[in-house]
Structure 1
Amino acid sequence: MNFRYFEWNEKFGRNNTQGAFDTLWNLFQELLTVASGDVGQALRWLTELDKEYSITDQFDEEYSLGDFLDDLKDRGYIEKDDSDQVVITRKTERSLRQKSLNEIFKNLQKGGVGDHKTPYSGKGLERQPETRAWIPGDDIGQIDSVGTMLNMLNHSSIECFELQENDLSVYDTDHHTSVSTVLLIDISHSMILYGEDRITPAKKVAMALSELIMTNFAKDSLDIIVFGNEAWEISVEDLPYLKVGPYHTNTLQGLERARHILQRKKFANKQIFMITDGKPSAMFENGKLYKNSFGLDRKIVNKVLDEAVKCRREKITITTFMITSDPYLQGFVRELTEANKGKAYYASLDELGGYIFEDYIQNRRKNVK
């Protein structure tokens, strides 16, 4: 255990100062997510908001943005990198993931998320109250001793107690499963077109889903792929810094990379979650990027549908979360869903997290043969 000591500062000794810090910290994290982890930009926005809405004037004690910045440094949320630039720390990255997770769970209906058990009985981790007859191979640690004794007494006498194999009774257990998920995030230019920020909700969902899996389902796996003109993998630590680029939408390569990742996973259940707001508009052909942003190019669309069929044959389900209401583009999503026998949701930005989390939970409730 490591201890870090600081010179006493009076403001840390007052409870209401903690409330001031928490208020600014929650707002600052929101701004950090929109600013893709840029501390300077987030602080400039925070300063502008304070000037316009007098946020710090609402606190009972004297607490300025300068005090807040000092607290961020002292508490290990920001630091200077090798180039003397102020950046967020791993602690802040984890806090952003946790905040996103809490935000999404808060919006889910009570009871909408369970403890991720399958509806089947068998070998598992949690004992059920129901019992059944013992069969060879059952875990002897799950034997119902009381039920077994009662079964034996039904055919025994006072002089002779005889335990027979068919007297043995065992408790059923819930059958837990594991899932390998690839999350595909569209970072093409359309994700910020028309004054609507679509990438920030997508980042929040990715951060929340990764935090959920790492903290509650360690045996599951989550890989994250972003796609624009091409597709590439990113790590969980990269999520706060994710930005939209001047890209077209190479859905084909995104799905190909996801399928290749899942081919290496030894999981019973494999799935692709794709967050997108646009149509496929690019693909590589003979080593060159072929692109067409006007309408649905059938050459590109047909290649994407072929990839969806390949995923279906490898028992990889594609669930598309379409964050646009364009009927023209929804037609493409219906074709993709039919080819893969997958699922599609036409989700608004504020519903995106709930849809993805509930679908993830449902997909874990599958029998493992």
Structure 2
Amino acid sequence: FLLDLKKTLMNAVERNGAGTPVRLSPDDFEVIRTELSTQASTVVMLDMSRSMINNGYFLPAKKVALALTALIRGQFPRDNLYILGFSLYAKEFKAEDLPKLAWSEWNIGTNMHHGFQLSRRLLGRQKGGNKQIIMITDGEPTAHMEGGEADFSYPPTRRTFEETLKEVQRCTREGITINTFMLEQSRMLTQFIEQLARINKGRAFFASPDRLGEYILVDYVRNKRRAIA
């Protein structure tokens, strides 16, 4: 590898402030990677429920998915990216579909259960590399699948929570990390995501819509660096 001296010094200055001599710690060192990075497969799960539209969250979330698509195609072409929209049901979309995505009558409910099921199937096609789900949502699960049909209830039922967490356990057993970006901090959503994180060991972030892209894109690149460190 090659030492990135400029970034290394900037890290030290940000940590300690300006002044001489610049004190370096092991965490300050940045290198220019020359080897091939580990392949990663990612599903972006976009909440398309009515609240996302009404609160003005869906457009920023959609822009993030487009930006992540451009990042991966440009810098990490070996990576796989899938995009799922979920509300009453979950559905896969192509990146080219994103600009046209809009609210429709089936966008009632937050069926994370179905979203995790489809994500697991998509990621199951890939035999190696890192696998992750990036979920962007503003609410707790309010629907789950029963006999091939969505079962919706608000307030959400205990069964919806239980079935969704069972699917989280299946993802975990298959080596899929779930990272959640919450656009709201309601008590019920926070408690549910805490349970999800305990099972899966993924991370959860609260992100304001205007900084959502910054969080997700920086986090993606940072994880790529860790994977090949």
Q: Same fold (TM over 0.5)?
A: yes
Write the distance in 1 (CA, Å) between the matches of 2:83 and 2:149. 25
Q: Secondary structure at the match of 2:204?
A: strand
Contact 1:191 1:244 in 2 (8 A): no
Write the distance in 2 (CA, Å) between the matches of 1:199 and 1:366. 30
1:222 lines up with 2:81 in the alignment? yes
- Number of the residue aligned with 1:239: 98
Contact 2:144 2:164 in 1 (8 A): no
Contact 1:283 1:289 in 2 (8 A): yes
Shift of 1:199: 0.4
Shift of 1:219: 0.5
Alignment partner for residue 175 of structure 2, among 287, 301, 315?
315
Contact 2:180 2:205 in 1 (8 A): yes
Contact 2:140 2:188 in 1 (8 A): no
Moved over 6 A (4+): none
Write the distance in 2 (CA, Å) between the matches of 1:237 and 1:360. 21
Deviates more, 1:265-274 or 1:202-211: 265-274
Cα shift readout 1:197-238 (whole Å, capped 9, x = no counterpart): 110000100000001111111111111011111111100100
Cα shift readout 1:64-111 (whole Å, capped 9, x = no counterpart): xxxxxxxxxxxxxxxxxxxxxxxxxxxxxxxxxxxxxxxxxxxxxx98
Shift of 1:345: 0.5
Shift of 1:337: 1.1
The aligned amino acid for 1:287 is G
Shift of 1:307: 1.0
Write the distance in 2 (CA, Å) between the matches of 1:255 and 1:210. 20
Write the distance in 2 (CA, Å) between the matches of 1:333 and 1:367. 25
Shift of 1:314: 1.1
Identity of matched residues, %: 41
Shift of 1:366: 4.2
Q: Counterparts in 2 of 1:193-208, with a 5 A limit?
A: 193=54, 196-208=55-67
Q: Secondary structure at the match of 2:210?
A: coil
- Number of the residue aligned with 2:213: 353
Cα shift readout 1:260-306 (whole Å, capped 9, x = no counterpart): 11111133111000011111111221233211111x42101111111
The aligned amino acid for 2:176 is I
Write the distance in 1 (CA, Å) between the matches of 2:100 and 2:36. 38
Alignment partner for residue 161 of structure 2, among 284, 301, 309?
301
The aligned amino acid for 2:93 is I
Q: Secondary structure at the match of 1:176?
A: coil
Contact 1:177 1:365 in 2 (8 A): no
Write the distance in 2 (CA, Å) between the matches of 1:259 and 1:331. 23
- Number of the residue aligned with 1:282: 143
- Number of the residue aligned with 1:262: 123
Shift of 1:190: 1.1
Write the distance in 2 (CA, Å) between the matches of 1:315 and 1:287. 25
Cα shift readout 1:164-187 (whole Å, capped 9, x = no counterpart): xxxxxxxxxx46222111100010
Contact 1:270 1:317 in 2 (8 A): yes
- Number of the residue aligned with 1:340: 200
Structure whose CA Rg is larger: 1
Contact 1:179 1:268 in 2 (8 A): yes
Cα shift readout 1:21-74 (whole Å, capped 9, x = no counterpart): xxxxxxxxxxxxxxxxxxxxxxxxxxxxxxxxxxxxxxxxxxxxxxxxxxxxxx
- Number of the residue aligned with 1:133: none
The aligned amino acid for 2:50 is H
Q: Counterparts in 2 of 1:152-191, with a 5 A limit?
A: 174=35, 176-191=37-52
The aligned amino acid for 1:254 is G
Give the TM-score taking structure 2 as reference length.
Answer: 0.81
Write the distance in 1 (CA, Å) between the matches of 2:195 and 2:183. 17
Q: Secondary structure at the match of 2:145?
A: strand
